[in-house]
A and B are shown apart, each in its own frame.
Chain A
Amino acid sequence: MGVVAVRFEKDNGSPVNRRAVKRRRRSRREHPVAIISGAAWLVVILAPLWYLVTTSFRNQASYLSSNPWIPSGLTLANYDAIVQAGFGRFMLNSVLVAAASIVVVCVSGLAASYAIVRRTSRLATVVMYLALGCLALPAVSVVVPLYFVTQHLGLYNTLWAVILPVSTFGVPVAVLVFCTFLRDIPAELFDAMAVDGAATWLVFRRLALPMSVPAIAIVAVYQCVQSWNNLLFPLILTQSPNERVLPLVMYEFVGQFSLNVPGVLAAVVLSSAPLVFVYAVARKQIMGGIVAGYGR
């Protein structure tokens, strides 16, 4: 069809062509409705975020009595109070949880996917079906037994009680991403290495691992977002203040500081800032991961 288009464009005299050119030009110009609706949605997205950031810098008097859209009575006191409340510790906990669960998910997911794609053992097929099954399993479904399982394993009220379940629910997505990636490596490459006498381990290290780096980035960023934002597991599987992670802290601040809304919002800003930074530097991976993981 492309060939036909070229022929028409060269044929300058024909009226058919003039109409086509005109239509194309018209479609190149932006329709005002498109601009207005695009801007309207921009406002819908930005309005609550504008409210969040500006209110987090307000003093109590300004919050209670001034126009919520126009910043006034700005202060850093809310942030100071949040930091005084031990926010650094909670942030550190969240970083530890995210880092550990990224490692767990990448290692176990990549290893299992390699086994699935290369069919190194029968177990691999079992893992594939388990992972696919767990893809649609809501986390709340297993949270009651997890409460007892983590107690039996001696993990209850430790960061591991958050890390391991949140990683488990990331494994299916990781398997999905890694399998898609590994499948695209030509089988000839694997066969060539095998013919040269390379052991499975060597093939994995020298071929599969380097080829999977972009997929590892996608899974790592995906798991970072998931583990950073999970509220359910810390809510139910941890208890003591020392093991709190950020979503739980935010949730509890709402109860404690119910009158100090700017303070709570300052905690929200501080908790979300690291991921907004990740979004700024790794937007492509976030989108790849979220689409591949179907957003769970």
Chain B
Amino acid sequence: MMIAVKAPRKKLASILTASFGLLLPLPALVLLTLFAIVPLVVAAVLSFSSWSGAGPIHWVGFANWYNLLTNPASQSAFLRTLTAAVVSWVVEIAMGAALGIYLAGPRRYRKYLAIVYFLPMVLSSTAIGIVWANFMDPNFGALAPVLHDLGIHSAPALLGSPRTALYAVTAVICWQFIPFNTLLFMGGRRQIPETVYEAARIDGASPFRCLRSITLPQLRYTFVTASILIIVGSLGYFDLFLVMTNGGPGVSTQVLALRLYVQGFSTAQFGAASTIGVGLALVGLAVGVALVRLTGFGRMRSQQEGL
């Protein structure tokens, strides 16, 4: 009896061992297919339909796509997404580069500063959104008294006014993601060999000249990578807008990702919501292909010049 049970088990084990190489990619393949590829295909199909989630699916051709491109509401949602992306791109790149180069310097105290500087990276968008929304509250928040002391007397309702809300949330996006960009630039700066700087110093180059002629040119791949990541990231940017303003006041902070959420899960227009989703994915994938091309995943190429 014992032998009879043992034998097939051994056989199974040996089959598994033999086909181990074939089985290896399967778990990842199943995950990616079930939860990314299939949904993306379903979204692409749904984008040609009008469907409320129950009952028959009506096929409407390119109506959703036409609507996405021409409807004033989605055009302004696109503009808001673009504004948030561009503003956060400029601020995050500038601050990230400045702080990253600063932290990569040789002085010891900067290592301790870095511990605090990078702390926001482990906080969730939900937590950050809640804290900042209350921090900016005109009546009980902590920002209003400071602004008052600085001479801005009518404590501005940063999130309550349609003129400022988009920029206020974008500022919080920057607060959240500047640490990440700082880390990228710090890593990039540390990879530039010190010998290059020594050579330049011996030739009489000032620190400013070193920055302009060595550091910034050598960091150009970091600039490219960080830029693409910020742009791709801001396409799907959703959490902070949901938590801080939920698109309001009115629809003044309704970015495309939030519009997708509202259309899909408040008004049950799954076709229109899927159209936004596929549109965002297409732009994201296009930028992603550029990322792969420019950073050269799959090749081993030195990014250092002049060595």
Contact = CB atoms under 8 A, between A and B. Distances in A.
B117 A68 contact: no
A34 interface: yes
Interface residues of B, number: 100
Interface string A135-161: 111111111111111000100000000
Interface string B22-53: 11111111011111111110110010000001
A283 B278 CA distance: 36
Contacts of A168: 31-32, 34-36
B264 interface: yes
A279 B179 CA distance: 14
Interface string A109-145: 1011011101011011011001111111111111111
B22 A120 contact: yes
Contacts of A116: 25
B126 A229 contact: yes
Contacts of A232: 238-239
Contact of B36 (A114, A142, A199): A142
Contact of B29 (A130, A136, A229): A130
B28 A127 contact: yes
A217 interface: no
B173 to A, nearest CB: 13
Interface in A34-82: 34, 37-38, 41-42, 44-49, 51-52, 55, 63-64, 67-69
Contacts of A201: 16-17, 20
B287 interface: yes
A137 B279 CA distance: 11
Contacts of A124: 24-25
- Name the prevailing secondary structure of the B interface residues: helix
Contacts of B184: 291
B26 A199 contact: no
A68 to B, nearest CB: 4
A181 interface: no
A200 interface: yes
B84 interface: no
Contact of A38 (B27, B113, B261): B113
A141 B284 contact: yes
A220 to B, nearest CB: 14
A35 to B, nearest CB: 9
A131 B195 contact: no
Interface string A156-174: 0000000011011101000
Contacts of B232: 136, 138
A167 B280 contact: no
A141 to B, nearest CB: 4
A104 B198 CA distance: 47
B78 interface: no
Contacts of A132: 288, 292, 297
A68 B140 contact: yes
A112 B27 contact: yes
Contact of A250 (B17, B21, B127, B260): B127
A20 interface: yes
B43 A141 contact: yes
Nearest to B284: A136
B113 A144 contact: no
A231 B26 CA distance: 28
A140 B260 contact: yes
Contacts of A236: 265
Given A38-B110, A145-B43, A20 B202 contact: yes
B145 A69 contact: yes
Nearest to B274: A144
Contact of A171 (B31, B130, B204, B291): B31
B140 A1 contact: no
Given A5-B198, A41-B117, A136-B285, A250 B126 contact: yes
A90 B36 CA distance: 27
B124 A135 contact: no
A142 B25 contact: no
A27 interface: yes
B99 interface: yes
B83 interface: no
A232 B232 CA distance: 17
A285 to B, nearest CB: 12
B201 interface: yes
Given A141-B284, A200-B21, A254-B130, A38 B102 contact: yes
Interface string A16-46: 0000100110010010001001100110111
Given A38-B113, A254-B130, A272-B124, A295 B180 contact: yes
11 contacts: A51-B131, A104-B31, A108-B31, A130-B33, A132-B297, A141-B43, A142-B36, A143-B261, A145-B42, A200-B17, A231-B243
